[in-house]
Structure 1
Amino acid sequence: MFPYKTSIQFDRKSNQALYLQLSNQIIQLIKNQTLGANTKLPGSRTLAEQLNVHRKTIVACYDELLLQGWVESIPKKGTFVLSNLPVLKQHKLSDFGDVDLKKNSGFSFYKNSDLPEKPVKRDEDFMYLNDGISDGRLTPIDEIARTYRRISAKRSVFKHLSYGSVYGNDTLREVLVSYLNTTRGLNINKDNVLLTRGSQMGIWLSSQLLLKKDDIIVVGNTNYESADCTFLYQQAKLETVLVDENGIVTDEIEKLCKKQQIKAVYVTTHHHHPTTVTLSAKRRIHLLNLSKQYGFAIIEDDYDYDFNYNHAPILPLASHDTNGHVIYIGSVCKTVAPVYRIGYLIASKAFVDEAAKLRGFIDRQGDALLELTFADFIKSGDLDRHIRKVMKIYKQRRDLFCKLLKDEIGDFFQFEIPIGGMAVWVKLHPEYSWFTIAEVAKKYKLEIGNWQRYDRAKSSHNCIRIGFAAYNENEIYELINRLKKTIIEIKN
């Protein structure tokens, strides 16, 4: 009898064939040295009877083991575990104590403390503050799905299923040229457009091409954490300048330029992240003039251009750039839903060409079918209709959120009602700490999150960014209620 019969278990409900289940288990017995080198395996008929399977299953199993190089077949003698098989050196579990081998590597690798951890698990009964994301429930999923199915059903779709351009789908690039020239006042052609998987990829590609160790990039204080981390990952030096009610202070940038060579400036001109303020016209022109005079690049992250409640959107810096200094980055992820990873990087042809080469190594190409879907979604006017719809809803949510925040717990917070975007920049009364609020809020199933990311410079401004767009009216009432309970407990 096969001495390890009791070690063999079959799952007859599994989609995996029985011969593969058996071969995998025999391989495991060989790896852990239960079956040593030169061990003779039972004949196919004998093992089939012992394991209560068809003989063809055993024959197929042995063929699989032979094909993978675990056994050898010797004519007129039988099937044997390979004689020259190296012994797999393994640690005993006791060598690691309580360490979970599935979580820990047996090799060293580089870690980077500048890259923050992202939350991976969320409890359904908790409410989580966000820093301004769209409401996925408002996504026109039916329209997008219909368009995707229609495009996928075309006979010509097969040419889009193979490798394509590292620049992204040509149709969407052409549609974006028309759309951005019309809505953003740009003056570009297809050669100026590189499709990305969202704004963050655009920032990363730009940093790779612009920055090396000790190169200087200017950012606002405070600034978008993911951008800061991207630049630090390049070992660049971050010079921070003040951000006030008119946006990043360009006079401070000019002073820096007179002292040292600046390689780039990163700005969110429309709604500064995180404070939501808009860069004034005077400072926009000043920044463009500085870039020409001192030869630095401007990375303009226009992450939520479409959401303006009090006036028409302000044209980006890129629309006024006549010297090729602006790298304009945007996406439809924020506008429609984060899951649709469609973004763009707009710059000179020379820069786009180099960025496309680099993009080809980390993401060979985009999702051509999804990009064709969004080309149709934009060209048909569905995107503009969606924007008009959610604008009304988000404005109502902004007004309700700000009203409740002021009426219910206004003694503890200072804020300005944002003219656009999907979040409010909230300053806590100096007598209290976000650390305490974050701890107490958990009692009321409210997760404040990593509030420290808003003050990487450790200036103790006591502010965080709170999004409102992703919550419906009932959820806004509940969020403010949980925050109010938290504040009352701390106060008492």
Structure 2
Amino acid sequence: MSSPVEIPFKSLIQIERQSDTPVYLQIARTMIGAIQRGVLAPGVKLPGTRMLSEILDVHRKTIVAAYNEIDAQGWIETLPNKGTFVTSRSLIIPNENLTASRTGNYARQTGFSFRKSMLLDRPVAVSKTDLEFTDGLPDVRIAPLDKLSKAYSSVLRRKNNNKYLGYSYVEGNAFFRQELTAYLNNTRGLHVGKENVMTTRGIQMGIYLASNLLLDAGDTVVVGNLSYYVANMIFQQAGAHIVSVPVDEFGISVEAVRKLCETRKIRMLYLTPHHHYPTTVTLSAERRIALLNLSVEYGFVILEDDHDYDFHFDSSPFLPLASADASGMVVYIGSFCKALAPGLRSGYIVAPENFISELAKLRRVVDRQGDLMMEQAMGELLHEGEIQRHLKKAQKVYHQRRDQFCDLLQKEFSDYLNFGTPPGGLAVWTEWRNDINLLRVSKECLRYDLHLPQTLLFQTERLSGMRLGFGNLNEEEIERAMGILAESVRVISST
């Protein structure tokens, strides 16, 4: 039997002093409800009347009256020289739907209906292995977490930052947005102020908020073939109709977009122009200008996902479409999740001020303002140049890893696949022989403690592709992972 001391009666029984219901009845009804729900299980010993009166800060006679009421209804029994216990007799509960309550277990299923979505069924697998291929995540081990920790600790200690512990700034921390604006203007060639920036919890949140504001059921969204599956799910969840257009070595096809515009109304074009997801190709400067002109001519929104912009190895990066947008047709989305660590969830949306103002209203519904303290710390790291210095160092590390990774691809897999060395980013796109079952390769890798998620596999009748991230693996781990992959491919191709 549970000890009455272990049961949190003070929090379990809330007394409303101003209520018209007598206190003893409030106590009795609360305890009966706890017995019905199984919180007070059969056989549990209840505190003595004096002890419970002290716990609840009421007169002992009030507890005596409450116990008498509970006893009269048959929920407790008093055993001479032992105490008062929740009855262990079989009790009849009028409502048959309280079966779960009688057992003390929470209901496994709802008693009501609700909408279910097959669109969101594609799982994001969590690795339990030592090695894992990702779609291009960074190595959190080299992130400047010590600098961020010191900055965050300092922010918390300053009394003048207590304002960030309350409600404020729906668009995000003002200082962080100011520093972020300067950073984006310097690195992306933008010409914006902090009024053009709203912070988010990452790129996916940005895509979700923008889609909810921009899309109505039946709207057409154009994406590349292939495209980012999470973005596609968001568009479909918003009720949009997705149309894909070809992507070649110069990026998404402008002519295909133009032909669509001539035959139907396009609401949005979704792009990852710096490194197209998943194939990593860069949208050419000529096509960027052409797409901007098309957006003005036909009135569609360009949702520009700043995917992998921070890492470029062979030359200076092309500036985003947003940097040349003079007509307010581009909504630009980015984050520090790849630059630092995915778990930090620091992202942003850049757009004309009227759009940001309306977007902030929507954001307020799902996330009042974000983590203002963390944003203050991030703003200070930007102000002091720590993030910029980290990116410069990380770029050298990832450049070496890319070269090692591509050398091993050429050495171990030349008979099985084709690939191009990406000019930047943290992943390589590979196209495999059609006779190699990539799903079987994935399962074979798992036998050797290497996780190859299904979300990295793109296999159809015409295509066998795999997006392999190298950023999260150090040199020794790259060697091991590629060795396991090579052995798995040999096993599958020989059967």
TM interval, shorter chain, is 0.7 to 0.9
Q: CA offsets per residue over residues 414-462 of structure 1, 9 Å max, x none?
A: 111111000000111122121221232222222221247646xx56411
> Higher mean Cα deviation, 365-374 or 482-491?
482-491
Distance 1:488 1:454 in 2: 20
Q: Indicate whether 1:343 and 2:347 are aligned.
A: yes
One-letter amino acid of the counterpart of residue 316, structure 2: A
Structure 2 partner of 1:444: 448
Instruction: Work out the CA distance in 1 between the residues paired with 2:214 and 2:479.
Output: 45
1:479 corresponds to? 481
- The letter for the 2-side match of 1:437 is V
Q: How does 1:231-270 map to 2 (within 5 A)?
A: 231-270=235-274
Deviates further, 320-329 or 403-412: 403-412
Partners of 2:350 and 2:202 lie apart in 1 by 13
User: Aligned residues, how many?
Assistant: 459
Distance 2:72 2:277 in 1: 65
Q: 3-state SS of the aligned residue for 2:468?
A: strand
CA contact (8 A) 1:225 1:453 kept: no
Partner-residue secondary structure (3-state), 1:463: strand
Q: Is residue 97 of structure 2 the alignment partner of residue 90 of structure 1? A: yes
Query: What do the CA deviations read for 1:199-218 (whole angstroms, capped 9, x no partner)?
Result: 11111111111111110010
> Which among 457, 461, 464 is matched to residue 462 of structure 1?
464
User: What are structure 2's unaligned runs of at least 5 residues?
Assistant: 14-26, 76-92
Give the alignment's Cα RMSD to 1 decimal: 3.2
Deviation at 1:136, TM superposition (A): 0.7
* Equivalent position to 2:372, from 361, 368, 373: 368
Query: AA paired with 2:97?
Result: Q
Change (3 A) 1:389 1:102: farther
Q: Which moved more, 1:201-210 or 1:239-248?
A: 201-210
1:304 Cα shift? 1.6
- Given the superposition, is the C-alpha separation of residues 241 and 119 from structure 1 closer, same or farther in structure 2, using an over 3 Å criterion? closer
Alpha-carbon spacing, 1:421–1:459, altered in 2? closer, same or farther (3 Å) = farther
Normalising by the residue count of structure 1, what TM-score does the alignment of the two structures yield? 0.85
Q: Which residue of 1 aligns with 2:284?
A: 280
Q: Which SS does the other structure have where 1:265 is aligned?
A: strand
Q: 1:90 to 1:378 in 2, by over 3 A?
A: same
- Is the contact made by 1:327 and 1:345 (CA closer than 8 Å) also made in structure 2? yes
Structure 1 counterpart SS, 2:161 = helix
With over 3 angstroms needed to count, the CA separation of the structure-2 counterparts of 1:273 and 1:77, relative to structure 1, is closer
Shift of 1:104: 3.1
Shift of 1:183: 1.1
Unaligned runs of 5+ in 1: 1-5, 49-54, 67-71
Q: Which residue of 2 aligns with 1:69?
A: none
Instruction: Name the residue aligned to 1:3.
Output: none
Match of residue 69, structure 2, among 50, 65, 80: 80
- Equivalent residues of 1:304, 1:421 under 8 A apart: yes
Q: Is the 8 A contact 1:299 1:327 kept in 2?
A: yes
Is this contact kept in 1: 2:456–2:467, CA < 8 A? no
Say if 1:18 and 1:57, in contact at 8 Å, map to a contact too. no
Once the two structures are TM-superposed, the CA of residue 157 in structure 1 deviates from its matched residue by 1.2
Tell me what 2:207 maps to. Answer: 203
Q: Partners of 1:491 and 1:336 in 2: how far apart? A: 38
> 2:114 is matched with which residue?
109
- For residue 329 of structure 1, give the secondary structure of its aligned residue in structure 2: strand
Structure 1 Cα separation of the partners of residues 457 and 119 of structure 2: 11
- 1:215 corresponds to 2:219: yes
C-alpha separation in 2, matches of 1:465 and 1:207? 26
Q: SS where residue 90 of structure 1 aligns?
A: helix
Alpha-carbon deviations, 1:352-377, whole Å to 9, x = none? 11111100001011111100111111
Matched to 2:53, the amino acid is V
Letter in 2 for 1:363: D
**Structure 1 residues 150-161: aligned runs within 5 Å:** 150-161=154-165
Equivalent in the alignment of 2:123: 118
Question: In structure 2, which of residues 484, 492, 495 is the aligned counterpart of residue 490 of structure 1?
Answer: 492
1:271 counterpart SS class: coil
> Shift in Å at residue 225 of structure 1?
0.8
| Alpha-carbon distance between aligned partners in 2 of 1:35 and 1:79, rounded to the nearest angstrom | 19
Cα displacement string for residues 95-149 of structure 1 (whole angstroms, at most 9, x for unaligned residues)? 99xxx96643333221111114434643244x32210001010111110011111
Tell me which residue corresponds to 2:20: none
What is the deviation of 1:177?
A: 1.6
8 Å CA contact 2:191–2:323 kept in 1: the answer is yes
* Cα 1:34/1:466, change in 2 over 3 Å: closer
Q: Does 1:172 align with 2:166?
A: no
Residues of 2 paired with 1:76 and 1:473: CA distance? 74
Provide the TM-score with structure 2 as the length reference: 0.85
Q: Tell me by how many angstroms 1:410 deviates.
A: 2.0
Contact 1:19 1:57 in 2 (8 A): no
Deviates more, 1:83-92 or 1:468-477: 83-92
Q: Residues of 1 paired with 2:256 and 2:125: CA distance?
A: 39
- Secondary structure at 1:339 match in 2: helix
SS at match of 1:81: helix
Instruction: Output the CA distance in 2 between the equivalents of 1:459 and 1:321.
Output: 39
Contact kept in structure 2, 1:299 and 1:328, CA below 8 Å: yes
Paired residue secondary structure (1:182):
helix
Cα 1:74–1:470 change in 2 (3 A) is closer
Q: What are the equivalent positions in structure 2 for 1:324-335 lying under 5 Å apart? A: 324-335=328-339
Cα distance change on mapping 1:34 and 1:299 into 2, 3 Å: closer
Quote the offset at 1:463 in angstroms: 0.3
CA 90–269 in structure 1, closer or farther in 2 if over 3 Å, else same? same
Mapping for residues 426-437 of structure 1, pairs under 5 Å: 426-437=430-441
> 2:85 aligns to what?
none
Instruction: Identify the residue that residue 51 of structure 1 maps to in structure 2.
Output: none
Q: Would you say the 8 A contact 1:32–1:88 is kept in 2?
A: no
Secondary structure of 1:133's counterpart equals coil
Percent of residue pairs identical = 36
- Alpha-carbon distance in structure 2 between the residues aligned to 1:137 and 1:113: 36
The residue number in structure 2 matching 1:29 is: 35
